[in-house]
Structure 1
Amino acid sequence: MARLDWAGGYDTIVFEGCDGAGKTTLAGATAQHTNADLIHSALTPPSTDLVTTYNCLLDRTGRLVFDRCFLSELVYGPLYRGHTRLTYQHMDTLVRRVVARNGVFVHVTAPAAEIRRRLAARGEHQLPDLEEIALICDRYDELFRAVRTMAEVLLITTDHPDVDA
Structure 2
Amino acid sequence: MNLDHAVAQHRTLIVEGCDGVGRDALLAGLARRHGYTVTRASPDLPHVDPVRPYRELLLHGGALAVDAGLVGELVYGPLRRGHSRVTWIQAFDFAEAVAERHGAFVHVTAPVPVLEDRLAARGASAAALAEIGAAVTGYDHAFSTLAEHAPVLTVEEQPAASDGPDPDPGHGETAPEPPVSSFARPLPRIRSPVPFCAQRR
Same fold (TM over 0.5): yes
TM-score by length of 2: 0.72
Q: Which residue in 2 is equivalent to 1:75?
A: 75
SS in 2 for 1:9: coil
SS in 2 for 1:83: coil
2:77, 2:85 within 8 Å by CA — same for their partners in 1? yes
**RMSD of aligned C-alpha atoms?**
2.3
Q: RCO higher in 1 or 2 (8 Å CA, sep ≥ 6)?
A: 1
Q: Which residue in 2 is equivalent to 1:37?
A: 37
1:23, 1:68 within 8 Å by CA — same for their partners in 2? no
SS in 1 for 2:94: helix
SS in 1 for 2:138: helix
Q: How does 1:1-165 map to 2 (within 5 A)?
A: 3-44=3-44, 47=47, 49-121=49-121, 123-126=122-125, 128-129=128-129, 131-161=130-160, 162=166
**1:65-110: CA deviations, max 9, x gaps?**
0112421111111111221111111011100010011001111111
Q: Which has the larger radius of gyration?
A: 2
The count of corresponding residues between Structure 1 and Structure 2 is 162
TM-score by length of 1: 0.86
Amino-acid identity (%): 33
Change over 3 Å in CA distance of 1:48–1:25 after alignment to 2 = farther
Structure 2 segments unaligned to the other structure (5+ residues): 161-165, 167-174, 179-201
1:19, 1:115 within 8 Å by CA — same for their partners in 2? yes
Q: Which shifted more, 87-96 or 16-25?
A: 16-25
| Distance (Å, rounded) in 1 between the aligned partners of 2:113 and 2:7 | 28
Change over 3 Å in CA distance of 1:46–1:3 after alignment to 2 = closer
Structure 1 segments unaligned to the other structure (5+ residues): none
